[in-house]
Chain A
């Protein structure tokens, strides 16, 4: 279907310019997705309750210590997370890409696992592990070191605890960027350095590190951004400790009695900061040349670790314990234990939690259904959009393709919770606005027509949110896939007499198939774990698994969460395995944190 649309693009003979139609159609769709909710957000931030213009909302917020503190907290949180991620991910990326350390593939797989683990699930798993008194690790420490019953080693309900948990699920972003940069870096330069007499350290200092630095800096920025915009983990760990971050503050402004104008005003700084940071990232990474891969590259130099092998392996193992091995173990334990934080033994093993989730919890079925329907719909629509837009931009098929590419990437700058607020304001107000406009034009009340714009309460509003959040990654993936296929193949086919459609179908489509499926898989995985936009937009009929898990955490039903979490992980790994089998080429896949 997408190909059929593109096929019409270059035919200008019939007097009607289809190219413009395609361009405008997609541009309009993207504007609707992105610009509309953001406009409502800005509008709300600048009006008071009566609808008059004001900057009072910002004054109220910024003069209130209850808002200043989260601002500072968030800044410190994001900075420390970013720093820790770099300290951990850079050496790991280097070990995996440039040394002869054994189990390199396994390490990469485990990093992928922490990459796709929903951060809020990780946060709950760490509650099971490191709650100061009932946490499994603290219990272990008490019995091992003979501590008193009220002494503890770890306290996850604390600022350092929160930083730690967020870093656990953010460091893969840095790792992927660094490892990819090292993978791609040609060996010639390093060879040249050693031929000219540079030692290993000299080469590293003069060649390797400068070449990989942009990727590391970009990774630091991405990590900062992720930590800043994350909602689930702070809501789970910071609130019990008695402090807020920006995202939880925005969310709390929506609690009863709701203050949407303050929430909108609080969202704007987050949005602006994200845009600035992304510009910075673009400037850093923009200098990187893509033409490092040519015909004459030699393989990267592999460093023999020798006696340090075990140290390196130990380092990787300890790091991977935190996001993957320990949390997964804790979740599995809680799923089958009568008491969530007691290790499974013969006397407390139970299938009751499974039974409860599948046969007693009446929300399970609907939430699973909603999650899958939304995941499939988002992945399918997102992939179609990404394919068409990347075709138009990489083949420069229409004028104005650059704007289209920009619009497809723009949502990267919108934190999930901000988008949630924007969409909520848009589509709860839209029916009123439409009704008003319609009435003033036609002179008759048109409430029925206006109610069609009532997207809040339907899955459509969630679909819009997920599509917006998933599009940039899908677009980047498809764009690099299209770039990898030189147009000369299509041209050859055309010269031999094929129509454009036939050329696309016979030449381009088969070459793109794996990328399309991989893109679909990653949008799907990113969608089913989304929490921060969903938490603003769900209603009882449109609840998804992530929101259900969040609900259950508030009432302390840890066993049910663990079972649902394991289901989520199994589905995610199934899809990731499928995508990996198909081998994804090109740029790193970006999955947004929830």
Chain B
């Protein structure tokens, strides 16, 4: 069926695009915190659905969606999952054609939020939990986004194929010729987590490292959710990068996977959430955004997703290494925003795809 655009949509869209073209940073004080009120719930139920573009692992995203549906019956969540870089491309392509399909977005590449905010297409909205509990570095000063999740890109190995004593301890170890043909790696042109990780890797170890790594005959997959899954199947012995949370999931499910936090440091990425100004279901979007930051949903992020939460009121799992004990590389969204295109181009040149 053809989508028909109302005049208002059209004007809204054009103004968004105009802003995109003549980028002047939008500066406004963050709006006051919004609580989940019966009015908001009623308005959201009237809309009946919310469309969630996300780069989080599909099964985790659907679990969050189902939990929301159970809590607010009558509102369905449609998850549109792809890699963060693909989600970014999709939204860009859709907005350029004035297609407003996305309500709420979550991306593991925090740099995207800088671009969207600058383009003026996000809606300022501060859920109560964000206002009350989140540290300043995990929420936008103007109230456009906040860190829904945090994660790491880790090294991992299949314990059936590699003995713990032989396992790599650092990025440097991966260059050992004995790993040639045994490594699997995700792609920064697809995955936001790997884009962030590649930025940090290049900053800390230089392009030189990746050029040496490219000689190791890696298996190149797309999503950072994929290497842990392939590791669990035994398809490759060692993963160069991949989500810590997917690795924890398979490990805790009893599969032969072990995680290595590299000696040089572990690439760290926050994945913010935001809602769009032209969201087709604005109230459901707000309700969903608020729900995402409740202790209930954040606990789900930890329990089901094995991700890291930045909400101080939720508990980390026993048996998972606490975040403060891991030597983290510093995330730098602004830095990623400036160099992302160059990283993609150079990476493609080095690895051939």
Interface residues of A (CB under 8 A from B): 66, 131-134, 149-150, 157, 238-244, 252, 255-258, 339-341, 356, 360-363, 366, 428, 431, 447-448, 451-452, 454-460, 539-541, 551-552, 554-558, 560
Q: List 22 A-B contacts (CB under 8 A).
A: A66-B348, A131-B235, A149-B161, A150-B237, A157-B219, A243-B352, A256-B344, A339-B255, A340-B233, A360-B63, A362-B77, A448-B10, A454-B3, A454-B98, A456-B99, A540-B101, A541-B3, A551-B81, A552-B58, A554-B221, A556-B226, A558-B229
> Does the CB pair B220–A540 fall under 8 Å?
no
Contact for A150 among B99, B182, B222, B232, CB less than 8 A: B182
Q: Which B residues are CB-close (under 8 A) to A255? A: 85-86, 89, 189
Contact for A361 among B58, B99, B160, B218, CB less than 8 A: B58
Q: Mark B330-353, 1 if CB is under 8 A from A, else 0.
A: 000000000001001000110111
Cβ-closest chain A residue relative to B65: A362
Contact for B353 among A134, A242, A540, CB less than 8 A: A242
Q: Report how far A239 CA is from B190 CA in the complex, Å.
A: 12
B34 to chain A, nearest CB (A): 26
A111 to chain B, nearest CB (A): 31
Name, among A356, A456, A552, the residue most crowded by chain B CB atoms within 10 Å (CB to CB). A456
Q: Report how far A560 CA is from B62 CA in the complex, Å.
A: 13
Contact for A556 among B1, B90, B94, B225, CB less than 8 A: B225
On whether A540 and B225 interact (CB within 8 A), knowing A362-B65, A554-B190, the answer reads no
User: A238-B353, A456-B97 are known contacts; what are 17 more A-B pairs with Cβ within 8 Å?
Assistant: A150-B237, A240-B220, A242-B218, A242-B220, A256-B89, A258-B89, A339-B232, A339-B233, A339-B255, A363-B79, A448-B10, A454-B5, A457-B101, A458-B2, A460-B2, A539-B90, A557-B229
Q: Report how far A239 CA is from B352 CA in the complex, Å.
A: 9
Q: Mark B31-58, 1 if CB is under 8 A from A, else 0.
A: 0000000000000000000010100011
On whether A256 and B92 interact (CB within 8 A), knowing A551-B81, A555-B81, the answer reads yes
> Does the CB pair B230–A134 fall under 8 Å?
yes
> Does the CB pair B92–A556 fall under 8 Å?
no
On whether A361 and B62 interact (CB within 8 A), knowing A150-B237, A239-B220, the answer reads yes
The reply to whether the CB of B263 lies closer than 8 angstroms to some CB of chain A is no
> Does the CB pair B58–A150 fall under 8 Å?
no
Say what secondary structure dominates the interface of chain B.
mixed
On whether A362 and B78 interact (CB within 8 A), knowing A66-B348, A454-B98, the answer reads yes
Contact for A134 among B86, B234, B348, CB less than 8 A: B234
On whether A551 and B82 interact (CB within 8 A), knowing A66-B348, A150-B182, A428-B96, the answer reads yes
Contact for B223 among A256, A447, A555, CB less than 8 A: A555
Q: Report how far A148 CA is from B336 CA in the complex, Å.
A: 43
Cβ-closest chain A residue relative to B100: A457
> Does the CB pair B10–A242 fall under 8 Å?
no
Q: Mark B246-278, 1 if CB is under 8 A from A, else 0.
A: 000000000100000000000000000000000
What number of A-B contacts does a CB cutoff of 8 Å give? 156
Q: Which A residues are CB-close (under 8 A) to B221? A: 240, 554, 556
> Does the CB pair A366–B78 fall under 8 Å?
yes
Q: Report how far A239 CA is from B79 CA in the complex, Å.
A: 26
Q: Report how far A457 CA is from B96 CA in the complex, Å.
A: 11
Contact for A240 among B59, B63, B79, B219, CB less than 8 A: B219
Q: Which A residues are CB-close (under 8 A) to B3? A: 454, 457-458, 541
> Does the CB pair B88–A256 fall under 8 Å?
yes
The reply to whether the CB of B159 lies closer than 8 angstroms to some CB of chain A is no
Q: Report how far A558 CA is from B235 CA in the complex, Å.
A: 13
> Does the CB pair B230–A556 fall under 8 Å?
yes
The reply to whether the CB of B7 lies closer than 8 angstroms to some CB of chain A is yes
Chain B positions 64-78 with a Cβ under 8 Å from a chain A Cβ: 65-66, 76-78
On whether A362 and B62 interact (CB within 8 A), knowing A66-B348, A340-B233, A456-B97, the answer reads yes
Q: Report how far A570 CA is from B160 CA in the complex, Å.
A: 37
Q: Report how far A345 CA is from B344 CA in the complex, Å.
A: 43
Q: Report how far A361 CA is from B78 CA in the complex, Å.
A: 9
Q: Report how far A157 CA is from B57 CA in the complex, Å.
A: 24
> Does the CB pair A554–B83 fall under 8 Å?
yes
Cβ-closest chain A residue relative to B102: A540
> Does the CB pair B225–A555 fall under 8 Å?
yes
> Does the CB pair A363–B99 fall under 8 Å?
no
The reply to whether the CB of B236 lies closer than 8 angstroms to some CB of chain A is yes
A378 to chain B, nearest CB (A): 15
Q: Which A residues are CB-close (under 8 A) to B7? A: 448
> Does the CB pair A554–B58 fall under 8 Å?
no
The reply to whether the CB of B129 lies closer than 8 angstroms to some CB of chain A is no
Q: Which B residues are CB-close (under 8 A) to A239? A: 220, 222, 353
Q: Which B residues are CB-close (under 8 A) to A558? A: 229
Name, among B51, B96, B160, B226, the residue most crowded by chain A CB atoms within 10 Å (CB to CB). B226
Cβ-closest chain A residue relative to B228: A556
Q: Report how far A556 CA is from B223 CA in the complex, Å.
A: 8
Q: Which B residues are CB-close (under 8 A) to A244? A: 352-353
